[in-house]
Structure 1
Amino acid sequence: MTLPTTTLGRTGLRVSRLGYGAMELRGPGAWGPPVTDDAARTVLNEALDSGVNLIDTSPDYGDAEEHIGRWVSHRRDEFVLASKCGCPLADGDPAHVYTKANVRAGVERSLRRMRTDHLDILMVHLSPSVAVMEAEDTVAEMRALQDEGLIRFTGMSGELPHLPDHIAMGVFDVFLLPYSALDRSHERLVEAAAATGAGTVARGSVARSLTPPPEAVPEPVRRPLAQRHARLAAAHLDELADGAPVTELLLRFILGHPEVHSVIVGSGRSQHLRANIAAARKGPLPADVHTAVLDRLGGV
């Protein structure tokens, strides 16, 4: 069975409804087990072999861009490549800066790392305010990179409180935003973004909610993950899964949103990738199961 695809809004790009998130390939300093070169090569090529053709990454993701360049750059015409801008250029520097110089320098480094001459989508990372982007001419520099052929489309990796303003700007072709059965706070914003003609890509930490987050995870990230884990455990969604993994239920829930074009799920392990692909091939949940998931997890 083939992996379902759809058109990513006005970009016209045909993308798989399941995308691959490269965060788990970040290497040293990762919250989970380190990923070897062999594992990275295997999982990236298996994703492409299985029909996953949207790869989302970032300069913030450690070794991820290097892995993409090393292991699948020879297959560049087979996938849509999205990365981020505004990220630190120096290792260990947490500051995100949205100046024209930093945006351009980051893109040039990403292109070198991934051994490609263009990014299909360049997204602003970490959802800065419109005021910050206007002060730094962030979007103007993205347009210049677009004119030069170094990027094809612009995007925003956004979230509340600034995401409504990002959508109202009318300049971004793609939005990457949080959405899952456990976090529906951006549900109406998915619809608002799609209504402008933009492509929408969901990110949701589906698997991370199944187990308590490790102590190594920074507290601002660990706290909401722990809360989601507690909600998920209390909902007993395994009773609705008909023997399937709960991760499958959660992934298929996201695919049931008619305005979500693709959902990014990451893993450094082939068995997890294969399970996600099998789930995506089944498509959205039946309507009654979708409703039952909503009932058990509560409101937005």
Structure 2
Amino acid sequence: MSDLQRRRLGREGPEVTVLGFGAMELRGTPHRNPRPLDEAVVADVLRTVLDEGVTFIDTSIDYGLSEERIGRHIGARRDEYILASKAGCPLEHLPDAPAGPLAHDYSAGNIRAGVEQSLRRLRTDRLDLLQLHISPSLSTLRRDGVVETLTALRDEGKIRAFGVSSTLPHVDDHLEIGDFSAFQVPFSALERGLETRIELAGRRGFGIIVRGGVAQAGKRAKQTADGRPVTWAGSGLEGLRDGDTEQGFLLRYAITAPGVTTVIVGTADPDHVRDNVRAARRGPLPADVFAEARRRLDAAGLTPQPSPAVG
């Protein structure tokens, strides 16, 4: 049994560890953003994830070889983890695709074909969570009958729950769709735009999966509300670390934020997996430290974006 804290992913969903694994780094070379990685390293990373007690793995058709590698190396340990993938993606890796978001297709035919392909590649008979990728608009969801397709797949046992990888400008519409079980959103101490919406989603009983929670250890600048770039060095958080690394503190901040269920962190290094687990084992930040971190981030201009008046 893992000693990592667990939280329920949605009202009736499974319990997952507060640290999850994002498998995009396992995408390999047949991808428009190649990530060469020896198969033995892939196996070591995935086995370390499970051996360290992480129980949530997030992948996608869009992540090149990621699904196949998960199936190959830990498919035999399928009962040890909750598995999430994406819907609406092109069915091929498209290594020559142009820069920018890939064109996604949320028709029933493409979603169903994607699920069947994912099940084969992942060597499993079900996806615990299927997420619509690239934050489709409400008009697209209605036009293509997407919720109806996902509901049918759930009723057939191909998936256990469904949700959406969401961001502005569509996240407020998504939060009104009660059929969704979970949302995957970008968030960190240095990228607090959706913080109030995450808290709202938690109050409504949705699961929240955070991506980007460690903000690359704060090395890449994020913009304040008035457009200024800020890195870890300008955040004011340094004096609050109390033995954490920068990345460890950022991970614990994301875990502490009200509404967050799990924070997925990707890596191709087994030692980084262990480092993240060590930080997560320390648990949420003490209440006074979290409050002070928020105060300092506000002072640095790293503030949540205004959200509609909602209950």
- Taking structure 1 as the reference length, the TM-score comes to 0.90
Residues 195-222 of structure 1: per-residue CA shift (max 9 Å, x gap): 3322111112514253349xxxxxxxx9
Structure-2 separation of matches of 1:52 and 1:152 = 20
Cα distance change of structure 1 residues 247 and 107 upon mapping to structure 2, 3 Å threshold: same
Supply the distance in 1 between the matched residues of 2:286 and 2:75 (Cα, whole angstroms).
38
Give aligned pairs, total: 290
Instruction: Confirm or deny that 1:194 pairs with 2:195.
Output: no
> For 2:107 and 2:201, how far apart are their aligned partners in 1?
25
CA–CA separation in structure 2 for the residues paired with 1:170 and 1:244: 38
Paired-residue identity, %: 45
CA contact (8 A) 2:216 2:247 kept: no
**Which amino acid in 2 is paired with 1:36?**
D
Equivalent-residue separation in structure 1 for 2:34 and 2:213 (angstroms): 13
| Corresponding position: 1:18 with 2:19 | yes
Give 1:217's aligned residue. Answer: none
Conserved? CA contact 1:24–1:30, under 8 Å: no
C-alpha displacement at 1:250, in angstroms?
Answer: 0.4
Q: Quickly say closer, same or farther: Cα 1:228–1:128, change in 2 above 3 A.
A: farther
Partner of 2:212: 204
Give yes or no for contact 1:209–1:229 (8 Å, CA) kept in 2: no
SS of the aligned residue for 1:9 comes to coil
Contact 2:9–2:207 (CA<8 Å) still a contact in 1? yes
Is this contact kept in 2: 1:182–1:228, CA < 8 A? no
Q: Do residues 173 (structure 1) and 174 (structure 2) align?
A: no
**Residues 220 and 231 in structure 2, CA contact (< 8 A), matched pair in contact too:** no
- Deviating beyond 4 angstroms after TM superposition, the runs of 4 or more aligned structure 1 residues are 29-33
Unaligned runs of 5+ in 1: 214-221
Alignment RMSD (CA, Å) = 2.2
Displacement of 1:106 in angstroms is 0.7
Which whole-Å CA distance do the structure 2 matches of 1:40 and 1:104 have between them? 28
Q: Name the counterpart of 2:238.
A: 238
Cα pair 2:189 2:213 within 8 Å, conserved? no
Partners of 1:11 and 1:199 within 8 A in 2: no
Displacement of 1:34 in angstroms is 2.6
Q: Which has the higher helix share?
A: 1
Counterparts of 1:1-300 in structure 2, within 5 Å, are 2-28=3-29, 29=31, 34-92=36-94, 93=97, 94-212=102-220, 230-235=230-235, 237-298=237-298, 299-300=303-304
Structure 1 residue 35: Cα displacement = 2.2
TM (normalized to structure 2)?
Answer: 0.87
> Unpaired segments of 5 or more residues in structure 2?
305-311
User: Quick one: distance in 1 between partners of 2:12 and 2:228?
Assistant: 33
Distance change in 2, residues 1:149/1:178 (3 Å): same
